[in-house]
Structure 1
Amino acid sequence: MKEFFYRPDNAWVGDVIPYYEDGEFKLFYLHGWRDNHKEGLDHGWHLLGTKDFVHYREDGACKIEGGTGHILKVDDVYHMFYCIFPEGKQFACHAVSKDLKTWEPIPEDTFGPDGEIYELADWRDPFVFWNEEEGQYWMLIAALAKGPTNRKGCTGLLSSKDLKHWEYREPLYAPNLHVGAHECPDLFRIGDWWYLIYSSYTGRFGTFYRMSQSLNGPWITPEEEAFDGRAYYAAKSASDGQKRYLFGWNPTKNDDLFGWNPPKASGKDYDTWDWGGNMIVHEIIQRPDGTLGVNVPETVDSAFTKQLTVNFEGITGDWSITDDALLCVSPYNFAGCITKEELPDLCKISAAVRFSESIQGLGFMVRAGESLDFAYYITLEPQRSRITFRGPIMQSEEGGKTFPYEVELERPFKLLPEHEYELKVFIDGTICEIYVGGEVAMSARMYDIQHGKLAMFVSQGTAEFNRVKIETPQNDKIHAKEES
């Protein structure tokens, strides 16, 4: 069975370079073969087509051997800007096409950092757009600015009249926050606000954004700067003219690409994250104050319409259980209930949750056993203003002694008592995509428990779970990729 969240056969999705035209998203991406790469196999940039983020048409390799970049159209010509890494150096490159499939590189347009404004090191992931105010093109690029400390990561800036000759300019954004370059820069405008997106793996790992009412800054850091958590990276955006979407990848833990797996770990959940995985698309939401959140795209959400029978039974604590509602009053204890049915490998779990002021935690246990401990915990923690993901490692005595972190994944979110929040969890094999309140997302992976039930829990408080549903796609062929 194909995975619902896209990846190519026998390979993985790396950075996505999205482009929208004629009612379809053209999704270029870095095709990650990993250790199954063989001589003669196409790699580098590949192209997908999709209208709904559910069905994909595979258009194959673009014959471009390079890293992340950007696509724009000028008159009748498509321009691809990308990067290459010869002999440990980094350069920006330019290619053109008439059909988005056959590309002609322009070797004389290749260039690297200047060594004066920018260090002769990181120089990758170019993003090009027309600056109406200046009447010329701007290129944003992942770079290192000259400076007295190692915190040189920046969003570099260049300008051009013809897309061939570029003038080096002072960085668009150089906050001295990151040791590494600001990867995969992206820029767009919604209303009065400009938004700058970049990804970083130093200081804090993720895809972040800044906001400004002018391209000249200042670039404001919002209260929560990330779109997702540790398991979502290199995200870039594209709009269909009505909504804007964010395209990133949920990394695997399959291959220990960086050699950091703990030697005595019992299973994969304890392992480190790889580069690349499955493509995940979030819809970008602009709040009234201009800050951004993300939600599941409506087309992905509505793909799960076959409602399964769900029967809960209380295991511990005082539960009132009706057809689609669960109420638990447990002011001093942990309480849990569980379904009689096993969870499918591919499904959506949803519920509207409400809780009391003093509650310590509440949420879902995914792939739970009857004892309600060996499971994946998705927890709302109102008193800490966060949502967390914990695997089975922390519930065991061995894990409690050795696991070095309080939680495995977390996302900040202000949770108010007596307010209703919609919680949606999408499961696809090892992939777990979590959305809360229509504005916060948390990506995760689940390896060591492959089967189990759905359980609800309440820790030291009162909570309601209403409109509880487990749904699957109506048609199993929904995962099937459309061939070109």
Structure 2
Amino acid sequence: MSGRIFFTPEEGWVGDIIPFEEDGTFNLFFLHERRESPREGMSWRLVTTQDLLQYHDRGDALVHGSPQSLDFNAYTGSVVVDDDGVHHIFYTGQNPTNRGDDGLPLQLVMHAVSYDGMLHWVKLPEDAFGAPEAYESADWRDPFVFRDEQCKVWRMLLAARVRTGPSRRRGLTAQCVSKDLRHWEYAEPFWAPERFITHECPDVFQWGQWWYLVYSEFSDAFATRYRMSKDRLGPWMTPDSDTVDGRGFYAAKTAERDGRRFFFGWIPTRRGGSDDGAYEWAGSMSILESRQRQDGTLAFSIPREILGCFEYEGKELLPSAGLLLGRQDGFASRMLCDDIPATCRLTVNFTVHAERADAGLLIHASADGDSSHILRLEPKRGRMVIDRWPRLQTGDEQWQISGDVPYLLELERPCDLSTGQHELNIVMEDDIFVACLDDEVTVSCRMEHSWGNALGVFSNDGLTSFDAFVVHALAPASPAQENVALIAKAQDGLDAGKGVGEGVEVES
């Protein structure tokens, strides 16, 4: 059993997650990345949770095949249950030695069933099938199956590529249909935007009058995105902000419970445990909750179950009057403490004034705050970004510090920072950092390097009021559910009066 907030197996890492909710339990299958060299095959592992806090590791669920099998690597797919109560896994089978006419390893849709409530799985290799002639045979993966009640068929969506056209824009969401989950027919593409190399891990769900198509892409950015439609087959509309998170949260797929929709993704590790190291495939599990706005667009936040595992009261770092910080023509900062717990929650209430100054937090900072990770809020640009100073250094001279980029690329989140009051909720565990602004927008990452353990705030070219800054340590196990209830009650009140206030200037 693992009680970590961001689940990571004792051995290896969490790859793509395949969530399936049943009877109040989230069954979280995931690709178990062990980073072996040479690789010994990829299996599906399973953890279960009912409260998003305690994870029960059930071990390997769908075991990869032998070096001669079509599914030496068992990659991403989906789980459904039919009318007879039989569970079905559809997954991607790949073997590096099984190659197509282009010389690349084939990707095949494969099928397994369970007659005992997902305790054991029986593979049906005779059901395997690959891409049709018009598609590249090496990109035919991540089958997502859902029931189309209107047409009384099962639909399977796949991450695929056509053989012709500009190489970086051949990606599409392919489609097959079936009446019995055994025999599949190729159908017209489900969505073909001619924009991405491939859009992986498709996921479709209905919420009220809206349908949502979720996918992950690595063309414009490594990001999970979504589209909306009033019909299950499209056409698909692009919301103003179509990303779930930034570069630090990938391959998210969804599950619903009690009217709440959760996105299960992973926060990647970085090579060598360095902020400058390349992102690596797989990492630690992270869960975000979506909220449907009146216009159908989605907001994203940290689930209240996770916030509730921290002490409700916490330690206030500011005086009762708050802190008015800044100057009209420069930078001002204030260090608040020098000992951030490795696992904690930060709650920050702040007010954006008329000059709309940039402001934010200095994290894992040196004592004077000059070197730190930075969460920066930029009202004039309408964004929240993760940054650090110093950035990448290629030498000892000032001009050899990467100061010619506006922030750490791919860790930018568009957001509303209108004049008035706002709230940040931040959860940190070791090197993992997840921030949520106004229960609307999240940004996730790893903060590998530490210049110290100080924590501070800043305001640049104008005044910002920091009204409260509370550090919450982990709560004892027993009161955690009480904290969840308190936070849920507070959240209900926040949702009832959602909106940005006029802002009240406080004195330091």
TM normalised by structure 2 equals 0.85
5+ long unaligned stretches in structure 2: 65-73, 99-104, 481-508
Secondary structure of 1:352 counterpart: strand
- What is the number of residues matched between the two proteins? 454
Q: Deviations over 1:56-99 (max 9, x none)?
A: 11111014320010001112210000001122110000100122
- The equivalent of 1:411 in structure 2 is 413
| Separation in 1, partners of 2:145, 2:126 | 18
2:357–2:463: 8 Å Cα contact kept in structure 1? no
Cα deviation for residue 348 of structure 1 reads 0.7
Structure 1 position 240 matched with structure 2 position 250: no
Aligned to 2:46: 47
Indicate how the Cα distance of structure 1 residues 324 and 56 shifts in structure 2: closer, same or farther if over 3 A, else same.
farther
Partners of 1:191 and 1:135 in 2: how far apart?
A: 20
After the TM superposition, list the runs of 4 or more consecutive aligned residues in structure 1 that deviate by more than 3 angstroms. Answer: 35-39, 306-311, 395-402, 476-479
CA contact (8 A) 2:270 2:277 kept: yes
Aligned equivalents of 1:225 and 1:187: distance in 2?
15
Answer whether contact 1:64 1:103 (CA < 8 A) is retained: no
Contact 2:276–2:392 (CA under 8 A) maintained in structure 1: no
Counterpart pick for 2:75 among 50, 67, 74: 67
Amino acid across the alignment from 1:22: D
Alpha-carbon displacement from aligned partner over 1:384-431 (angstroms, at most 9, x marks no partner): 1100111233397757634363211211112111x2111111111110
For residue 212 of structure 2, the aligned residue among 183, 195, 216 is: 195
Q: What is residue 121 of structure 2 aligned with on the other side?
A: 103
- Secondary structure of the residue aligned to 1:7 is coil
- Where does residue 169 of structure 1 map in the other structure? 187
Change over 3 Å in CA distance of 1:432–1:310 after alignment to 2: same
Q: Which structure 1 segments of 5+ residues have no match?
A: 256-266, 312-320, 480-484
Aligned to 1:272: 278
Pair 1:78-2:93 in alignment:
no
Instruction: Verify: 1:204 aligned to 2:221, yes or no.
Output: yes
Within 2, Cα distance between the matches of 1:460 and 1:184?
Answer: 43
1:43-442 to 2 correspondence within 5 Å?
43-65=42-64, 66-74=74-82, 75-86=84-95, 87=98, 88-97=105-114, 98-116=116-134, 118-150=135-167, 151-179=169-197, 181-254=198-271, 268-305=274-311, 307-311=313-317, 322-323=319-320, 325-394=322-391, 401-403=400-402, 405-408=405-408, 409-417=411-419, 419-442=420-443
For residues 399 and 448 of structure 1, the distance between their equivalents in structure 2, rounded to whole angstroms, comes to 20
Task: Return the alpha-carbon distance in structure 1 between the equivalents of residues 161 and 81 of structure 2.
Answer: 28
Deviation of 1:147 (Å) = 3.8
- 1:81–1:93: 8 Å Cα contact kept in structure 2? yes
CA deviations over 1:284-327 (Å, ceiling 9, x no partner) = 1111111112101010011111655454xxxxxxxxx5247222
Judged with a 3 Å threshold, the aligned counterparts in structure 2 of structure 1 residues 477 and 268 are, in CA distance, closer, same or farther, namely: farther
Quick check: 1:443 aligned with 2:463? Answer: no
> What is the alpha-carbon root mean square deviation over aligned residues?
2.2
Supply the distance in 2 between the matched residues of 1:478 and 1:93 (Cα, whole angstroms): 45
One-letter code aligned to 2:123: P
Which letter maps to 1:345? Answer: A
Name the residue aligned to 1:263.
none
Deviation at 1:164, TM superposition (A): 1.1
Query: How many angstroms apart in 2 are the aligned matches of 1:301 and 1:36?
Result: 38
Task: Return the TM-score normalized by structure 1.
Answer: 0.89
Most deviating of 1-10 and 225-234: 1-10
- 1: CA distance, partners of 2:451 / 2:17: 28
Give, in angstroms, the shift of residue 247 of structure 1.
0.2
Cα deviation, residue 115, structure 1: 1.0
Aligned pairs for 1:4-19 within 5 A: 4-19=5-20
Secondary structure of the corresponding residue to residue 238 of structure 1: strand
Deviates most, 431-440 or 406-415: 406-415
Q: SS in structure 1 opposite 2:391?
A: helix
| Preserved CA contact (<8 Å) 1:310 1:341 | no
Mapped partners of 1:71, 1:347: distance in 2: 34
Please report how far the alpha carbon of residue 131 of structure 1 lies from its aligned counterpart in structure 2 after TM superposition.
Answer: 0.3
C-alpha contact (below 8 Å) 2:339/2:453 kept by paired residues: yes
Q: Which residue of 2 aligns with 1:482?
A: none
SS of equivalent residue, structure 1 residue 373: coil
Please tell me the residue identity of whatever aligns with 1:453: A
Deviation of residue 2 (structure 1)? 6.9
> How far apart are the structure 2 equivalents of 1:101 and 1:93?
19
